[in-house]
Structure formats: C-alpha cells, structure tokens
Structure 1
Amino acid sequence: MKNEKKKLHLGQIITVVLFLALCGAAGFFGARYIDTSLPNTGIAQKSMLFLFLILILYLACFMQIIIHEGGHLIFGLMTGYEFASFRIGSIMFVKKKDGIKVKRFSLAGTGGQCLLYINDYNDGNYPYILYNLGGSLNNLIWSVLAGILYLFTRGNRYLSAFLILFAAFGIAFAILNAVPMSGAVNNDGKNTLDLMRSSNARRCFYEMMKINALITKEVRLKDMDDELFVIPEKEYLNNALSASIGANAVSREMDKMNFAGVIEKGHYILQNAEGLIPIYKSAVKLEIIYAELVTENSQEKVDELFDKEVKKFAAVSKKNISVIRTQYAYSLLYENDQNKAQQYLTLFEKYAGKHPHKCEVESERDLLSYAKARYDSQNSAMGE
C-alpha cells in the first residue's frame, strides 16, 4: 500500500509540475507576444490582447479535450470496438435502443470520457493499445498539423498565437495521458501498461466494457451474468483495472439489496485491492456506509468510514445520484433530520431526470425507498 501511495504522489507531482511549466511558459511567451505585437500602444490595447490570449487559451484547451476523446473513439472504432458513450465535460452522447441520446453526467477527475466495447474477448488477445493511447496520438497529430500551419501564418499574429497555444496544449495532453501515471483516476498510459503486463487486467477491462455496454442497454447490475463480477484473487488486485471489478461487485450487491454482501465484499476490496483508485475507494466506502445505515446503523462504524477523503469525494460528486442516495439515508438514519433528507431528495430528482441510464435511476429509487421504510419502521418502534 505504501508503494502505491508513493506512485500516486509521484504521478500527482509530475502532473502538477507539467501543468505549472505549461502555465509559466504560456505566461512568459504571452507577455512577450503582447510586447512585441503592440510595442507602442497603451495599457488598454494590451489588456484587450491579454484577454484575447486568455480566451484562445481556454478554446485551445477545450478543443484538445475533444480531440483527445475523439482519438479514443476513432482508433477504437478502427480496431473493432463499438460505440457506447462519448462525454465532454458533463455533456454526454449515449447509445440507446432508439438512437444516440444527449444526457448530462460528470465524473470527478475527468474532463471527458469515451466508452466503447468489443464483443470478441479472444482469450485476452483483443486490441487495446490503440483504443487506450488513441487520445494522446490524436493530440500529437493535431499538434503537428497546427505547428505546420503556423509556419505559413506567422504574419497573422492572432491566428499564429492560437496555433502555438493549441499545439502546446496538445503536446501537454499527450504527455500527461500517455506517460504512465496514477492519480484520482489512472491515465491512459498506466492502463495500457497494466493491460500489457496482466492477462487478468485484460479480462477485467473487457468485463468493465461489457458492463458499461449493458448499462447503456438499460440492464441493471443485478440482472447481469455473475461471471462479470468475479473478484480476482488478491495477487491480481494490484492494478486499477482488476480492482475496479471488485468495486463493481460491491455495486451489484447493492442493486440486489444484499447489504451483508455489500459490507463483506466492500471491506475485502478496501483491505486487499492495492490498485483501487481513490475515487473508487471513496465510492466503495459510501456503499458500505449506506449498508451499515439500513442494517446495524452503528455510529462508530459509520464515523470510521465517513472520513475526510470520503467527505471530499461526496462534495465534488454532488450531482452523482448514488452519492445523493447515501447522503439521503445518512440524513434520515444517522442525523434524524427529515428536512435535510428532503433537500437531498429534491436534489436527487433534479439530477435523476438528466441521468443517462434509467436502469441506474430505478435502482437508486429502490434504495431511497428502502432507507425511508427503515426510518419509518424505526420511528414506529420507538413510538411504541
């Protein structure tokens, strides 16, 4: 576990250093660009040019996010994958039975996500390198094209400034995603490396893709095949891809309302899955918290699980309907605060209407109802 934390911290340090270097370079060359472009002008004109640079900086970054996720899509489809969903920010295009639908969804630690799936497992020999590294490759391709175009547009200071920033962001995106690093979520390079090293990781990655595909087809976790949720042996849980199947197995027990299974599998994953990434770790803890609340409701156990990292995750995931469901149960069964619980219920309804998958909304509604029934039952027993 200590080695995993060191890797995590190293990945975060590299990410921060690269980000600061990019910002520093942008600031230095931006100031120099303003001085050389408008040498004999006043502060007002230079301020306008500065605002323009901020605008194109944002535009260049946003475009490179689209290009990155588009790279996963293009190279995935080229190598035999099928489309499940494509997300930029919170805007999500998801494949349903009656066509592509536009929904709203966000995931902490990600600016976008392209989810595809492949039908032929082929004993783990399915293509995965181009799909996973296609985003970085696409960033590099477009950055090179921008660099070539810059050579012919240096006379236009506005277009040339955009092209330079666009290319710089593309190279930065490629490095940050292709060089293996761990963080809130593992980057593409780290996932690719894990897939190359472990046949078990390739099996789990395939199963995760299949689970995602079934969810887009509105199949609930409890109705999927048991084989998709077999937790690997402890020796294979040292990478995020294998460990994530454990997190999915916990979620499936929750959908089945097998709360003893949630607690048992959840604690097993927390104790043994060294590769479990921070957001999945917090998500598993929240599932155990809900299970504890609607069963034993031990204040000591709930307090131990609801630590600083979980609270931080819940704060940044305030639109996540699973997180809202647990907060609703916490307000009722732990805090005995019906008004606060009602606020979470209102929040749930707000985001449930925008959620991309009806099957997940249905599951969460069942759990909300169960928590309310437990609360009513406890109050009735106390009244007697």
Structure 2
Amino acid sequence: MKNQRVPRSSQPSMHINQTDESLFIHNRMKVIAFSYIVIALSVGALSSCSSSEQADTNRKKTGNSKQATKPSYRIATVSQQRVGQTIQLPGEFRPYQEVSIYPKADGFVDKVLVDRGSAVRKGQVLMVLDAPEVEERLVAARSNTLKAEALLVASREHYRRLKASSKIPGSVSALDLETAYARMKADSASVLGEQANYRALARLKSYLTVRAPFDGFITERNVHPGALVGSGAKMDRPMLVLQQQNRLRLVADIPEAYSVGMREGETIAFTVSAIPGKEFKGKISRRSGSMNQQFRSETVEIDVDNTSRRLRPGMFAEIMLSAEGTPGALAVPNTAVITSTERQYVIKVQDGRAQYVEVKQGQKSGDMTEVFGNLRPDDKIIVNAREDIREGVAVL
C-alpha cells in the first residue's frame, strides 16, 4: 500500500486539459485585439470623412467670401459751391470803459463817498483828500500875483508919464525912457509867471477832490479815511476802480481762415454758460487788422448792450460764427478726401481708372468739404475712397 502509484493513464488527461485552457485564452486575446483594430479603423474612416466634409465647407465659404469682398465704388461729381460752416469760439466780456483811479496830489484821505458796487455819474465826487500845505501855497501864490500886478501898474504908469514928458525937448533923456520901458516889460512878464503858478496850484487843489470821469460802477476800493496817498506813497493798487457796464466789449480771437470773410457791422450771436437757454446778439464794431503771430488769429470786438446788467465783465461767452465759405471753391463729400502722413488727395475717375489728385481742404459743413487742387466742376471722384485703392486700377 505504501508503494502504491498513480496509474499512468491519468497523467495525459491532465495535460490535455491544461493545453485546451491555454488555447482558449490565446484565441480570446486574438479576438479582443482584432476587435480593437476594427474599431480603430472605423474611427479613422469617420475622421477622414468629416475632415473632407469640413474642407469642402471651408472651400465653399472662402469662395463665397471672395465673391462678397469684390470692391464696389460709389461715384460722385465735384460741385462748385460755397460750403458754409458754423463754428463756436470762446470770447470774454470786458467793460466798455475802465479806469484805475490814482491820486494826482499827495495828501491824506479825508472822505470816501462811494464803495464797491456804487453806481456813479460823470462828475460825481468820489473822494476828498486833505493837503493843508497846498492851501498855503495857493494863498502865497495869490499874494505874489497881486503884488506883481501892482508893480506892473506902477511901472506902466511911470513909463507913460516919461513918454509924455519926452515930447518936450531936453526934459527926459532917452536912457531914462528906455529904462522905464524895460522895467514895464519885466513887470509884465513877472505877472504872467505868478499867474501861471497860481493856476497850477489851483489845479493841484482841485485834484484833492476826486470825481468820476464817466458813468459807471465802482468795482474796487482800496483806501479808507486817514490813509496817505500820492505818488510818494508808492501805491501798488489804485484807490478806486471804475467800470462802465451798461455797454460791454465782447473780445474774441478769430482764426485767419474765418476772419477774411467777416465784415464790420455784422450781427453775431453768442451764448453765455452762466445764463443757459438765452441767446444774445451784438455787432462787430472793431477789428485789430493784424494777425496774432502766436495764435494766427485776429482780435475782434463786439459791442453788446447791457442796460439790464445781466452780463458781467469777465464772463466767458461762446460765439457762434457762420462762415459763408470761400468764393469759387469746389466741394466734395468728406469721405472722398484721404489724409495720409504725406499728403491729402482724392481719387478721380479718369477714363475708367483711378487717378490720384492732391488737394488742400478748406471749410467743412455737414458731409461736404472745400477742396483746392487740380479739379474741375463735374469731375468724377470716388466717394468711398480708401488708401488700398491703387492708382491706375480699373474703376468702371
């Protein structure tokens, strides 16, 4: 029993079972690999089909876009007309008259009869200065004048009597007569000098009473009673500032391109930002007649009635200037002008082809602009001009 062996016939049977199992696994793996290959080929075929369809679609789109971007030109005719333009320019109101009142004589301020905002009339007393030494000098000048006049009366009478006596031969010498005449002339000159001195001191005294030179309003007051005023006081500011405000000057700088067509007496409309919704009018009264070298503009003054005093000196205004355009100028649509870094030009249609024509722009109004160049009325130009339109290309 101990040496009992397994029968040999049972071992081949086990080997056959193991071999069948290996073959089964091997065949299974081949089937799986084949399935993967089939799936990969199917996906590749589908991808190639979709790619070809996408390429066909792209070709169709490209062909359609090329047909859509075929250039089209809009043609217009050059016209001869004035291109009017309305522009807005800034302006500033200034008083029609303005004066800074300084003292004409040295003295102390005695009375100040007006203040800031006071309305005054021409000749009205504004201030009174006190200078006692002026009064004393005036009295002395009056006394000297009376003394000189008395001496003149005496010398004139003395000469008259000597001249009457000289008719009797030998009674009066010729030398005495000439001396008396010279004395009379000297006294006459002395009287004239003393009278002139008296008048000067009287005028100086009148300067102590400060009067308004014209109707207006006091806009500044810088002194009070007791202050020392005069040229010797080295005043940095005036005693009073007087402005005429019932009439104003609207000052504006007009560019040279528009100043040529302006006329004196022309009515100008303007608005003031501080008074919205209100339009004012004035007339061009004065022009400088020369161009500002820095801004290339001409200074123009417009007189504005301001009886109601709604406007104030120093306010800013917006002037609405209507330019009539340049006589004889040619006009084209704004889009017809091409501006590059080197030049300005329009594209003219000559014998069905594009031709560049250099121009200079003038005034603009709406969608039209003035041009100056080698153009004539009724010439054909491209309205929708672009820089990529080459010269000589067929247009029509």
TM-score computed with the length of structure 2 as normaliser: 0.19
| Higher relative strand content | 2
TM-score computed with the length of structure 1 as normaliser: 0.19
Q: Which protein has the larger Cα radius of gyration, Structure 1 or Structure 2?
A: 2
